[in-house]
Amino acid sequence: MLRQSEKTVLFIPALGKGRKMAKVLVIGGAGYIGSHVVKALLEKGHQAAVYDNLSTGQKVNLFEQAEFIEGDILDSGLLFDTLRNGFDAVVHLAAKKAVGESMEKPNKYSINNIQGSLNILMAMAECGVRHIVFSSSAAVYGMPEYLPVDEAHPLNPINYYGFTKLEIEKFMDWYDRLKDMRYVALRYFNAVGYDSEGKIRGKEKNPQNLLPIIMETAAGVRDGMSVFGSDYDTRDGTCIRDYIHVSDLASAHVLAIEKLIEGMPSAVLNLGTGEGTSVKEMIDAAEKVTGKKLNVTYAGRRAGDPATLIASSEKARNLLGWKPQITDIEEIIRTTWNLEH
């Protein structure tokens, strides 16, 4: 049992007139993106429960208003026992996500990502849960053939992590056809930032991505950092990515659930801002926000990095009525820096 004080208590406004409340199981809901999804669901008056094995998720990310089930997606029995309690939808974010590791330890990714997701689909089918929102990734596209990348772009993942995400999308498509299960696969571009109200306090452990590495360097947790490649064909020679705030990702999940329950057919949607920021621009903005000079070394290119990756999210905007709200890069950095000190 958790002590009361370990969980965050949210102020939840009354449900708007005429809106249907959904009961949602957020698998991976104690993690970085999952906890933001839980907060967004609760704030819109939905009922959320969290299923998480706490391998990377953290208790400090849990909310008092969301029941917590400590469990693994490899535990089919517990998934079944949980899902038979009348859920309208599942949000599935439980996965291993280190790209480099996926190439060295593919079995770990086969078991956790593919087998784990199949267990969820099978338990959902058994229990009659008909809606799932799945955390997919831009990694399903591989090297971009044109920009911005839309959902019609060829699917050629260049790492095993991306392959697992693509396979799970395909399994969901079969469960749609065979088990009448509707899904939304959300292909995130580069997720960044933290809840701007500071309600989510669990920093990711051993972060592998650019912004948390910049933050740790600014905070003195790291002595310095490397920029991987400064000779790309971009405006300043460093790689350009589409950084999307985690609270904007979260709101897309809630909209996707609401639309699925209203009867929207299954869909695959990119989530990004449509704007690109270079590594150097990110570092410059971070120095401005933090007031610290970063110890930066310009290193060689990292294998597998495209020069530029930018999303077209027109489909999400049109189908969900979604629009990212926190797009200013300094504001995004501020929401992350708040956690460091």
Task: List, by residue number, the catalytic residues.
Answer: 161
Site for ligand WQD in 248-307 (CB under 6 A): 279, 302, 305
Among residues 36 and 97, whose Cβ is nearest to ligand WQD? 97
- Distance CA(48)–CA(24), nearest Å, equals 5
> Does residue 140 bind ligand WQD (CB under 6 A)?
no
Helix intervals (H) in 180-245: 210-219
- Distance CA(312)–CA(111), nearest Å, equals 31
Which range of residues in 42-50, 126-134, 219-227, 315-323 is near ligand WQD by CB under 6 A? 219-227
Minimum separation from the CB atom of position 301 to ligand WQD (A)? 8
Minimum separation from the CB atom of position 85 to ligand WQD (A)? 30
- Distance CA(301)–CA(245), nearest Å, equals 26
Closest residue to ligand WQD, judged by C-beta, is: 239
Backbone angles phi, psi at 276, to 5 degrees: -110, 145
Minimum separation from the CB atom of position 126 to ligand WQD (A)? 29
CA distances from 103 to 158, 164, 208 (A): 10, 11, 15
Which range of residues in 168-176, 223-231, 250-258, 328-336 is near ligand WQD by CB under 6 A? 223-231
Site for ligand WQD in 31-90 (CB under 6 A): none
Site for ligand WQD in 199-218 (CB under 6 A): 209-210, 213
Q: Measured between alpha carbons, how far apart are the two ends of the chain, in Å?
A: 29
Which range of residues in 104-112, 225-233, 247-255, 262-270 is near ligand WQD by CB under 6 A? 225-233
Among 50, 139, 256, 326, binds ligand WQD (CB under 6 A): 139
Minimum separation from the CB atom of position 162 to ligand WQD (A)? 6
CA distances from 79 to 28, 83, 112, 113, 229 (A): 13, 6, 14, 15, 44
**CB atoms near residue 11 (< 10 Å):** 7
Among residues 6 and 145, whose Cβ is nearest to ligand WQD? 145
Q: How far is CA 33 from the centre of its chain?
A: 5
Among 190, 247, 277, 335, binds ligand WQD (CB under 6 A): 190
Find tokens 């701007």 and name the residue: 196
Which range of residues in 118-126, 166-174, 220-228, 266-274 is near ligand WQD by CB under 6 A? 220-228
Site for ligand WQD in 228-247 (CB under 6 A): 228, 239, 241
Among 58, 137, 247, 312, binds ligand WQD (CB under 6 A): 137
Count the site residues for ligand WQD by CB under 6 A.
Answer: 18
DSSP secondary structure string, 261-293? HHTPPPEEEEE--S--EEHHHHHHHHHHHH---
Q: Nearest-CA neighbor of 255 among 327, 198, 184?
A: 184
Minimum separation from the CB atom of position 81 to ligand WQD (A)? 29
Among 48, 227, 250, 289, binds ligand WQD (CB under 6 A): 227
- Distance CA(260)–CA(126), nearest Å, equals 19
The torsion defined by the Cα of 285, 289, 295 and 297, in degrees rounded to 10, comes to -10
Q: For helices 116-127 and 76-83, give the axis angle rounded to 10 degrees.
A: 40
Return residues touching ligand WQD (CB under 6 A): 97, 99, 137-139, 190, 209-210, 213, 225-228, 239, 241, 279, 302, 305
